[in-house]
Amino acid sequence: MSAIERNLNAAHAEVKAEIARTDSKTALLLAFVGAILAGTWTVVRDLPLNLPARIVGGLGLALLVWAAGLLLRSVRPNLSGRHGFPLWATLTAAEITTATHRDLATDIAGLSRLAVAKFTCLRRAVDLTLTGGALLILAALLTLGGAA
């Protein structure tokens, strides 16, 4: 195996590991966002909220729902891709052997684009989760301040 082939194989393994890492982070964050949404609903459904708290809290919840949507989009399988197993499903065994030997660099590029798209969704979801959480804290403070 040449140095180029070793480097391509290492790059391919690295990109696949990054995709798996992103999916793991996404699953944890999705569970966290779901817990915040469920917990918030449980706590506030019987509370008398003032108008500012309702507005700020509603916006915070909307951002959390948006974050959950981005997270779901991030883990949604892309079965129309032209690399990896979606491509292999359209080929014969002989074509797979040829394609995997010849097109490893193309597969690395395609998987890298997929990884960047996943990381972008994850990053935006984290930003929305932080902002939504801050707004929920502000809504709680507005409720406590309005109750006094």
pLDDT of residue 5: 82
pLDDT of residue 81: 66
SS3 88: helix
pLDDT in tens, 48-60: 889 999 999 999 9
Q: Which residues lie below 8 Å from residue 115, measured CB to CB, with a gap of 6+? A: 15, 18, 19, 22
pTM of the predicted protein model: 0.83
Q: Where are the domains of the chain?
A: 3-147
CA angle 47, 53, 58 (to 5 degrees): 95
Q: CA distances (Å), 85 to each of 82, 98, 108, 111, in order?
A: 9, 14, 13, 11
